[in-house]
Amino acid sequence: MSNKLRYDVIVVGAGPAGLAAATVLAKSGVKVIVIERGRFPGAKNVMGGVFYTDCMKGIVDEFPGKAPVERHVIEERMWLLDDNSHVGITHKNEMFNKEPHNCYTVFRAKLDKWFAGEAEKAGALIINNTVVLEPIVENNKVIGVKTDRPQGDIYANVVIAADGVNSLLSKSLGLRKELKSKDVAIAAKEVIGLNEDIINERFNVKGSEGVTIEITGSFFPGETMGFIYTNKKSVSLGVGMILEDVINSKMNANDLLESMKQHPSIAPLIAGGQTKEFLVHLIPEGGYKEMPKLVMDGFMVVGDAAMMVNSIHREGSNLAITSGRYAAETYLEAAKINDFSENVLKKYIHKLNNSFVIKDLKKYKNLPDLLQKDKRLLQKYPRLLNQAAFELLTVNGIPKKEKEKMIWKTAKKEIGISNMIKDLIKIWRSVK
Amino acid sequence: MIDIGKKDPDKTHYKDIWVFVEQTNGEPQQVSFELLTKARELAEKLNCKIAAVSIGKSVEHIAEEAFKYGADKFYILEDEVFSDYRTEPFRDALSRILIKYKPEIFLIGATTQGRDLSGTVATELKTGLTADTTQQEIDSETGNLMMTRPTFGGSLMATIICPDDRPQMSTVRPGVFKAIPKETPQKGEVIRETVDLKEEDIVKKILKKVVSNEGNINLSFYDVIVAGGKGMGSKENFKMLENLADLLGGTWAGSRKAVELGYVPQSRQVGQTGQTVHPKLYIACGISGAIQHLVGMQSSDIIISVNKDENAPIFDVSTYCIVEDALKFIPKLIDELKQNKKIKTQ
Amino acid sequence: MHALIFIKQVPDASQVRVNYETGTLIREGVPAILNPFEAHAVEEAVRLREKIGGKVSVLTMGPPQATDALKECLSMGADNAYLLSDRVFAGSDTLATSYALYEGARKIIELEGDVDLFFAGKQAIDGDTAQTGPGIATRFGIPLITYLIKLDEVNIDKKYAIATRLTEFGQETVKTPLPAFFTVEETLNELSYAPLPWLIKAAQTEIKRLSSENVELDRNQCGLKHSPTKVKKAFTPEKRQRGETLKGTCNDLAKQASEILLPFVK
Ligand SMILES: Cc1cc2nc3c(=O)[nH]c(=O)nc-3n(C[C@H](O)[C@H](O)[C@H](O)COP(=O)(O)OP(=O)(O)OC[C@H]3O[C@@H](n4cnc5c(N)ncnc54)[C@H](O)[C@@H]3O)c2cc1C
Ligand SMILES: Cc1cc2nc3c(=O)[nH]c(=O)nc-3n(C[C@H](O)[C@H](O)[C@H](O)COP(=O)(O)OP(=O)(O)OC[C@H]3O[C@@H](n4cnc5c(N)ncnc54)[C@H](O)[C@@H]3O)c2cc1C
Ligand SMILES: Nc1ncnc2c1ncn2[C@@H]1O[C@H](COP(=O)(O)O)[C@@H](O)[C@H]1O
């Protein structure tokens, strides 16, 4: 028994959540080991991705410093996409050029690897190429994990599950159920290489300024969301489809991505580009209502594993990092009294409740259900809006007044006034 | 021990093109004659002579053929110690001869033996060596040999020169050049070399030789490769590929999935983690054409693919595309070929 | 027993794409991997160490990022990892590379003790030259055994090894005195899955750095300037186009194909 592998904390998963926890712990002198199944941290991790700076405070203070970020975002567009048109709103703000920048576009393969380097510098031990199979439980208390390596059992005071959307660990502990097809999105993403100047010209930016475009609408089946983000020398383009929509529409994310690339509003942005990478990943979309139980004796769940994704605002990595930090801080407090029971670790939940993490997740808690149930919201409205814009902007001798009347008539026919009012109230309620 | 001597550093003292004639048990390798044929073309540009050199227990009988393919001189080194190829004595003996006669260009076949030998000889001579070349030309301005070779599994070609050091050495893949006998062969001169070497001086001993062991086949020795993938459906079905390969004087191989499924031994896997091959003819049956497979075979001269799926990526690199069930098609093809063969031999 | 393996970090050839417009390789975003042949060399050496004791060192010459490949070797069970990295090596061809590695290896011998078995991969999947190993062996003046497929016996006390290698016509088994130099095939062994404590030890092992500051070098044999071969130009081979699609019934197809194949029929 003497050569048993023992650490203070085992972190499972070297994504943003796990690395944040490990960095904070290691900085305080805690003996922490991170187990990652990928060839290196980030090897298989996928994100759109827009990375928010604020959450790195207290973890890696000098962010971005030498971190591999692509462009800082100064303009955000939102598009409602119809079959051959879009209407959109844009927010571009010179304030976003001020440092510290609000957010950056990033590649996870690079960012996670860098972050892991920071965690190692702080003193964390990162083990790659190793899969955690299950927790080791004794008297309802988690005391370690089993890995797929020979002599692969490790023991610790606390195990932090940062193992992402599929979280084997929280599932096998019964903290959470299998993901339902309505609560998980399949995201496909393609990175399209383009010349830096061409990107600057097409997106009307300069230097390291970047643009994001979030896309939804009747072009997509169901609740699908698409995105386009600018990197230094490439554009990331992707779609996230709720699994249920995949089943119902019989379309998969790859096909959709392909047809999205052909869309007249999008094709010119990527014309002449070369596909450099194609990635697929899951996004937990259940929101607050689907969050698992977050702690038990010797165990905490952080990040995507805990369903902490705010899909409306495409925030995930920042919630992951913040939750990782809280879990680490909770451990430090528990270590002072050498008590790692659920009762003490519950402080982690309090911290979350008092932060933007849970407050934001609560705010949007009904939205996933609403969007899922009500096809009107993402299907009929965008189509109507695109039609309306087209009608109003086409000069063909019909007076504008008459056009408005026609639009209004179609809207009434397609949706009905009472429904429209109901929808407005529903949306307002679900995000208030 | 062989004293290899001291290399002449003055590059202007080097002239003529030399070709290494590789042999096993007195049987010469075809690639050597391919190189002599190519050397004729280069020698014309350089206005120089061609020499062949061979080392073995008994090699003099090869002289006739060497002259037929263009050698003006044939240097031989015969000794009991050279009956089997071993790196060290061959390296030292060959280095000594090259240092003594100072050829400007020295060509070796890129066979297992040629690759083993060339790397050590070039290091002894402290000169450049370009491996696995597929094109050779003389730069008309400088007279340098321009050697072109594929890298990155054939994704990129590089033209390499060795401007300041002599000899300019390169290995050439078998089958890249054609061996064409001279129309009017002339009898050349046989020059006998000797070295003072006894078996006791050689530290490496060959204990056992196994000829053509199935477990470890070198696919690159074949002009024709018939490969199958997962689409072949079973190990038994590979028998038809073997039959087809026999008819075409080639061998059979497989994709990694075929290996994983146990249809094909790993030693016959083509691709990134298998062997890289460049046969004259590659027939791919029931192989989808994943990039990891393509990097191992896409520089084959002719590629014929049989796949049920007309959009299979393998077709994008194929000379001839056959959209058909391989299990139906191959037996028919074998019948046809047998018919034709009969007509041909009649 | 002390084994020294020369390992190289290479771009994953399967993920390198060609830009046909510019005639260059798109290497950006292409993961760098341990050259697959060397993984088997490390595996063999580590198995030998587990059996007869001793230690396994690995050496690479390359840019600082090559530490990733060294770390991979450590987590497979290697004991020491050396990175030989210096500006003077930039642009080395195989002759200059084998020189640099030879000097690096001599330094390792000075630091870690005599080496009994040297290993290199059969070839690197980026350059495909298969010359570096033979070059180093020649510089050491030790027996070279290329295309190793089996290490039948190693006797450190009596200083010999029996090894089986591939030849043109099958295979041969040779007896060689040690130290000797082996270049290995992938069929040498099956990679095994290292135990977790090895990975932990690897993560805590520091990569040792060698450069012109701590290795004695003859600068007249280093780098692009002193490499006899030069790349005159690089270009992409003509992109293969999808060729002719044969038409007709299965019988028709067989007829057409047999016409095409006729010249090959033996
Ligand atoms: C297409 C897409 C776009 C997105 N866009 C954005 C965006 O723009 N901005 C944003 O903030 N968020 C975005 N997100 C969400 C964000 O990526 C996640 O919320 C975030 O990565 C969560 O971090 P995490 O550390 O919890 O999980 P992950 O990043 O998933 O990390 C989990 C880690 O655990 C490892 N692991 C899992 N199981 C095991 C095991 N059994 N043993 C060992 N290791 C294991 C995994 O390999 C992985 O490294 C996006 C997600 C997707 C899919
Ligand atoms: C790191 C790495 C290294 C790899 N190295 C290699 C390598 O060295 N070599 C290699 O080959 N692969 C390698 N692979 C695997 C590679 O990615 C593919 O999975 C593999 O090549 C697919 O083999 P396949 O074409 O036989 O099977 P599949 O991709 O499953 O294709 C089978 C094909 O057969 C067709 N088919 C089915 N039935 C019939 C029929 N009756 N008649 C005609 N056609 C039929 C199908 O349409 C399909 O196209 C590697 C992968 C990785 C990740
Ligand atoms: N830069 C290098 N550092 C260490 N080993 C190398 C290096 N280059 C080549 N090698 C070794 O030599 C073998 C043959 O390489 P190559 O001659 O490039 O085909 C490789 O498989 C490695 O084992």
CATH number at residue B283: 3.40.50.1220
Closest ligand 1 atom number to CA of residue A18: 25
> In the predicted model, what is the mean pLDDT of residues B137-165?
90
Q: Are residues B279 and B163 in the same domain?
A: no
Q: What is the mean pLDDT of chain A?
A: 90
Asked whether residue B212 is domain-assigned, the answer is no
- Does residue C153 surpass a pLDDT of 60? yes
- Does residue C184 surpass a pLDDT of 90? yes
- Does residue B344 surpass a pLDDT of 70? no
d(CA B156, CA C237): 6
State whether C230 and B160 contact (CB < 8 Å): yes
Domain C2-226: give its CATH superfamily.
HUPs (3.40.50.620)
CB pairs under 8 A between A and C: 51
d(CA A324, CA A22): 8
d(CA C72, CA C203): 10
Q: Are residues B124 and B21 in the same domain?
A: yes
Q: Are residues B192 and B341 in the same domain?
A: no
- Does residue C247 surpass a pLDDT of 80? yes
Proportion of chain A above pLDDT 70, given as a percent = 98
Q: Where are the domains of chain C?
A: 2-226
Q: Token pair of C207, please?
A: 């990569």
User: What pLDDT, on the 0 to 100 scale, is given for residue C168?
Assistant: 77
> In the predicted model, what is the mean pLDDT of residues B14-34?
94
Sheet-wide strand order for B105-109 = B129-133, B168-172, B105-109, B17-20, B50-56, B73-78, B189-193
Asked whether residue B193 is domain-assigned, the answer is yes
What tens digit of pLDDT does each residue of B85-120 get? Answer: 999 999 999 999 999 999 999 999 988 899 999 999
Determine if ligand 3 sits within 6 Å of the CB of residue C95: no
- Does residue A98 surpass a pLDDT of 80? yes
Max distance between CA atoms of chain A, in angstroms, equals 89
Q: What is the mean pLDDT of chain B?
A: 92
- In this structure, the residues whose C-beta lies within 6 A of any atom of ligand 1 are A 12-18, 35-38, 44-50, 131-132, 162-165, 168, 187, 189, 238, 240, 281, 283, 303-305, 309, 314-318, 320
> In the predicted model, what is the mean pLDDT of residues A5-14?
97
Domains identified in chain B, total number: 2
User: What pLDDT, on the 0 to 100 scale, is given for residue B161?
Assistant: 96
Report which of residues B210 and C177 the model is more confident about: C177
Q: Which residue has the tokens 């070098």?
A: C217
Asked whether residue B257 is domain-assigned, the answer is yes
User: What pLDDT, on the 0 to 100 scale, is given for residue A432?
Assistant: 61
Q: State the distance from the centre of ligand 2 to the C-alpha of B287, rounded, in angstroms.
A: 5
Q: Are residues B20 and B117 in the same domain?
A: yes
Q: Are residues B96 and B231 in the same domain?
A: no
- Does residue A1 surpass a pLDDT of 50? no
> In the predicted model, what is the mean pLDDT of residues A111-140?
96
CATH number at residue B35: 3.40.50.620
Bridge partners of B133? B172
Q: Which domain holds residue B290?
A: 219-345
> In the predicted model, what is the mean pLDDT of residues A91-119?
93
- DSSP class of A315: B
Nearest residue of chain C to residue B300 (CA atoms) = C240
> In the predicted model, what is the mean pLDDT of residues A325-352?
97
> In the predicted model, what is the mean pLDDT of residues A347-376?
82
Question: Which range is most confident: A372-381, B131-140, C107-116?
Answer: C107-116
Asked whether residue B2 is domain-assigned, the answer is no
Asked whether residue B208 is domain-assigned, the answer is no
Q: Token pair of A153, please?
A: 């059992």
What tens digit of pLDDT does each residue of C59-82 get? Answer: 999 999 999 999 999 999 999 999
User: What pLDDT, on the 0 to 100 scale, is given for residue C25?
Assistant: 67
- Does residue C246 surpass a pLDDT of 50? yes
Confidence of residue A417 (pLDDT cuts 50, 70, 90): confident
* Closest chain C C-alpha to B160 CA, distance in angstroms: 5
What is the b/e burial string over B105-136, where b = at least 16 CB atoms within 10 angstroms of the residue's CB? bbbbbbbbbbbbbbbbbbbbbebbbbbbbbeb
User: What pLDDT, on the 0 to 100 scale, is given for residue B212?
Assistant: 64
> In the predicted model, what is the mean pLDDT of residues A184-196?
91
- Does residue C21 surpass a pLDDT of 70? no
* Cβ atoms of residues A51 and A105 within 8 Å: yes
Asked whether residue B148 is domain-assigned, the answer is yes
Who among C130, C233, C246 is closest to B119 (CB)? C130
Q: Is B137 on the interface with C (CB under 8 A)?
A: no
Show the DSSP H helices in chain B as ranges. 30-46, 63-68, 87-101, 112-125, 238-247, 256-260, 291-294, 326-345
pTM of the model: 0.83
Who among C94, C237, C255 is closest to B129 (CB)? C94
Of B230, B226, B217, B245, give the one whose Cα is nearest residue B297.
B226
- Does residue C141 surpass a pLDDT of 60? yes
Who among A5, A40, A43 is closest to C196 (CB)? A5
d(CA C44, CA C21): 44
> In the predicted model, what is the mean pLDDT of residues B273-289?
89
Proportion of chain C above pLDDT 70, given as a percent = 94
Q: Are residues B187 and B145 in the same domain?
A: yes
In order of B17, B213, C180, the CA distances from B184 in angstroms are: 20, 41, 48
Sort out which chain B residues have CB atoms less than 8 A from C149's CB and list them.
Answer: 216
User: What pLDDT, on the 0 to 100 scale, is given for residue C181?
Assistant: 98
ipTM: 0.80
- Does residue A13 surpass a pLDDT of 50? yes
User: What pLDDT, on the 0 to 100 scale, is given for residue A318?
Assistant: 93
Instruction: Report the range of poorest mean pLDDT among B213-222, B233-242, B261-270.
Output: B213-222
| Cβ-proximal residues to B76 (8 Å cutoff; 6+ apart), any chain | B53, B54, B55, B59, B60, B63, B190, B191, B192, B193
Q: Are residues B191 and B295 in the same domain?
A: no
State whether A128 and C75 contact (CB < 8 Å): yes
Proportion of chain A above pLDDT 90, given as a percent = 57
Q: Are residues B65 and B149 in the same domain?
A: yes
**A423-431: long-range contacts (C-beta < 8 A, 24 or more apart)?**
A423/A374, A423/A376, A423/A377, A423/A381, A426/A370, A426/A374, A427/A367, A427/A370, A427/A377, A429/A366, A430/A364, A430/A365, A430/A366, A430/A367, A430/A370, A431/A312, A431/A363, A431/A364, A431/A367
- Does residue A14 surpass a pLDDT of 90? yes
| Cβ-proximal residues to C165 (8 Å cutoff; 6+ apart), any chain | C145, C146, C147, C148, C149, C171, C172, C173, C174
Of C125, C119, C123, give the one whose Cα is nearest residue C154.
C119
Asked whether residue B323 is domain-assigned, the answer is yes
What tens digit of pLDDT does each residue of A224-246 get? Answer: 889 999 999 999 999 988 888 88
Q: Name the phi and psi angles at C90, rounded to 5.
A: -55, 135
How distant is the alpha carbon of residue A268 from its chain centre? Answer: 27
What tens digit of pLDDT does each residue of B30-40 get? Answer: 899 999 999 99
> In the predicted model, what is the mean pLDDT of residues A118-122?
96
User: What pLDDT, on the 0 to 100 scale, is given for residue B117?
Assistant: 97
